[in-house]
Amino acid sequence: MKDMKQTKERLTKELSTFRHKVIRLGKVQKSDKGMERHQKAATDRRKIEDDLCATRGRLRILLSSSPAVLYMSKISGNYGTTFISENVKAQIGYESNDFLDNPGFWANHIHPDDAPRVYEELKHVFEHDSHVYEYRFKHKDGHYIWLRDERWLVRDTDGNPQEIVGYWIDITDRKQAEEKIREAEEKYRSIVENSDDQIFMLDKDYKFLFINKSAANLSGKSAQKMFGMSIFETLPKTTAIQFGENIKKVFETGKNISLDEKMLIQGREYYNSTKLNPIKDDSGRVIAVAGIVRDITRRKQAEEALRKSEGQLSNAMKIANLGHWELDVTSGMFTFTDSFYAIFRTTAQEMGGYHMSIADYAKRFVHPEDAPLVAEETRKAVETDDPNFNRYIEHRMLYADGSVGHIGVRFFIVKDENGKTIKTYGVNQDITERKLAEEKIKTSLREKDILLKEIHHRVRNNLQIISSLLNLQASKIDDENLTAIFSTSRSRIQSMAMVHEMMYTNEDFARINMNYYLNNLITSLIKLFNPDMNRIQIRLKNEDIYLDLNRAIPCGMIMNELATNAIKHAFPGDRKGFIEIRSRKDSDSIRLSVRDDGVSLPPDFKPSEVHSLGMTIITDLTHQIDGELKLIQKDRIKTFELILPIDKVNNNEDCQ
């Protein structure tokens, strides 16, 4: 702006000189008419013309090199331009003649939003002989630039306005910079105003020069009301005195203060992290103090909870026989804790300190037969590429007195920036008592397994004896109806005996594989009833489905009844067809079914309304296991389907 001012002064001076010389030249020309023969007049005219030419040259140089566009304009109408410097093209893209040939050119290119203000402010030129204003002007390429326009009113000797002389410069860069600054100020002001932190500024009398909403809300007053108020007027007395002492220190020392403190405000305790900074003038004198107070109550509560948690964890580790350790892979040295040594029934003092080499640790505390396992797991931890590697192992340990125990080790790794394992750390737990208890349980389970096998064996044998007795009795009876009743009873007994036989031969006493069971059941029924296999095709479509014992026996008996009915009654005479036994598992149920294309049942047939022994067994057992029995007859095929909801099955025992 200083250079601009100097340029303006030079241009003004040259313009004034130029104007006076033009006037003098006019006077000389007029006088020439009456004095043409006078040599002196001719000499004066040439001198003035030479001076005028030199002035024009200087003026042209100034105009072409100046960032300012000079102009002259009329004092009324559209303020049409009467003169404008040629550098206007470099600034806004237009030729000088664009302004000179069109009186309304300047007025028509002012931004529509700025034009009313510019016209209104033109009156200041006539009132004060000069005025400066800023507005947007349309560039030739269509975009708008910002101009700073300074103009003067030229008057004649009688004081009457003659013309307007002025200049403008492009201030677009400055305006854009100002806009960015304004946006930044608004942004940061918004951040400060809406920050959860309490931000304020106090003068030497402890009065608020600035305070944001968070700080004002704490006292229950608005920021506007608190402006100019003292901390002693807005804060509780004790808090204000405590706070005022810290403010006083900043004014006296000129140094920052950072502290955490507890305050009582409106009956509540707050923990605050406070930072106070001095605001100094050019001489270095502190004129105000700016402060930021952050509510750290939750952090303090979390720290207190963490301390309690760490204490509880320490106690829990002692109770659970847990010991922490770290291994520096580079040095091969362990670092142990007191709780670690306690597991091995010794102390750091007895062991010579809290550090120990890998070899010494293995020799002192690892059972010789398990040392290779520990060494291998350590090698894996060191060589792994997985940064999340962790492992849990169990092995025998040696107590300090030489006795043998069992230990569980959970450990993790730490890698450097190159992916190299530099440290492992973990916890050890004495699991000797658990191991002894597990061994007792295993021994007890083995004994119970033997006992259960013996029970199932005896039950199966007893059922087989009953079946044999029924078969023996049936062989003595000539009545076919009675013989059929005995055969049916035998099939029912065998369906139960098969479950106990599977329990006796299985390792798992909790579940029965229904695929295996149903296949054996149908084989048994074929042997018992001896159907004509040339007429009746048996299809088995069973999946590996497991049921607990409480459901396996009822389901087995239901399937036995349905299959028996199909074999005995579905294909009288020479009728041919198939019987299909199927088991499958859906997303929400287990389905067991018997299908055949033999004799159809009446359309209104309902199993629950039939009172034969077989149907009674089927309906009662279905209800007992919370199942559902469906009869579907379609295209001469009838299907009895037993449905067991998955959730009902899961509420009892395991199933798959």
Per-residue model confidence (pLDDT) at position 591: 92
Mean pLDDT of the chain: 80
What residues form DSSP beta bridges with 577? 536
The answer to whether residue 445 sits within a structural domain is no
Structurally, how many domains does the chain consist of? 4
- Confidence at 462, pLDDT banded by 50, 70, 90: low
Q: Which of 47-56, 332-341, 373-382 has the lowest mean pLDDT?
A: 47-56
More confident residue, 138 or 655: 138
Q: Are residues 116 and 252 in the same domain?
A: no
Question: Is residue 18 in a domain?
Answer: yes
Type of residue found at 29: Q
Domain assignment present for residue 440? The answer is no
The larger pLDDT score, comparing residue 336 to residue 553, is at: 336
C-alpha 53: how far from chain center? 78
CATH number of the structural domain spanning residue 238: 3.30.450.20
**Residues 146 and 257 both lie in one domain:** no
What does the block give as tokens for 649?
Answer: 């099955």
Asked whether residue 95 is assigned to any structural domain, the reply reads yes
| 326/354 same-domain check | yes
> Which percentage of the chain shows pLDDT scores above 90?
21
- Do 291 and 326 lie in one domain? The reply is no
352: helix, strand or coil: coil
What number is the average pLDDT over the span 523-533?
Answer: 79
Cα gap 550→555, rounded to integer Å: 9
Instruction: Tell whether 34 and 164 lie within a shared domain.
Output: yes
CB within 8 Å of 640: residues ≥ 6 apart? 562, 593, 594, 595, 607, 629, 630, 631
Q: Mean pLDDT throughout 608-635?
A: 86
Hey, what are 91's tokens? 């600034």
Number of H helices, E strands in the chain: 23, 23
17 and 151 belong to one structural domain: yes
Indicate whether 26 and 132 sit together in one domain.
yes
Looking at the fold, whether 205 and 251 belong to one and the same domain comes out as yes
Is residue 406 over pLDDT 70?
yes
Q: Same domain for 537 and 629? A: yes
- Give the orientation angle of helix 514-529 with respect to helix 480-505, to 10 degrees: 150
Exposure b/e, 366-404, CB count within 10 A at least 16 = b: bbeebeeebeebbeebeebeeeebebeeebbbbeeeeee
In the predicted structure, residue 5 carries a pLDDT above the cut 80? no
352 and 231 inside one domain: no
Q: Where is pLDDT greater, at 115 or 23?
A: 115
Residue 357 sits in the same domain as residue 243: no
Can you give the CATH number for the domain in which 601 is found?
3.30.565.10
Domain-located, residue 217: yes
The residue out of 404, 430, 456 marking a domain boundary is 430
Containing H/E element for 378?
helix 371-383
Question: pLDDT tens across 425-437, in order?
Answer: 888 888 888 888 8
Q: Indicate if 423 and 351 belong to the same structural domain.
A: yes
pLDDT of 653? 46
Q: Would you say residue 466 lies in a domain?
A: no
**Domain region containing 217:** 195-300
Q: What is the model's pLDDT at position 400?
A: 92
In a domain, residue 626? The reply is yes
Quote the pLDDT of residue 272: 80
What pLDDT is attached to residue 353? Answer: 92
Does pLDDT of 36 surpass 60? no
pLDDT digits (tens, 9 = 90+) for 127-167: 888 899 899 999 999 999 999 999 888 888 888 898 888 88
Q: What is the mean pLDDT of residues 454-476?
A: 62
Final residue before a domain boundary, out of 157, 172, 187: 172
- What are 255-280's pLDDT values in tens digits? 998 888 776 666 677 788 889 999 88
**pLDDT reported for residue 13:** 58
Helix locations, 157-222, DSSP H: 172-194, 213-219
Dihedral (Cα; 609, 615, 616, 617), 10-degree rounding: -160
Q: Which of 6-10, 196-200, 537-541 has the highest mean pLDDT?
A: 537-541
Tens-place pLDDT, residues 203-249: 988 898 888 888 887 777 787 888 888 888 888 788 788 888 888 99
Q: Which of these three, 172, 207, 228, is where a domain ends?
A: 172
Higher pLDDT, 56 or 440: 440
How far apart are alpha carbons 95 and 90 in whole angstroms?
Answer: 9
Q: How confident is the model over 311-338, as pLDDT tens digits?
A: 666 666 666 668 889 999 989 999 998 8
CB neighbour burial string for 506-532, b if at least 16 within 10 angstroms, e if fewer: eeebebbbbbebbebbbebbbebeebe
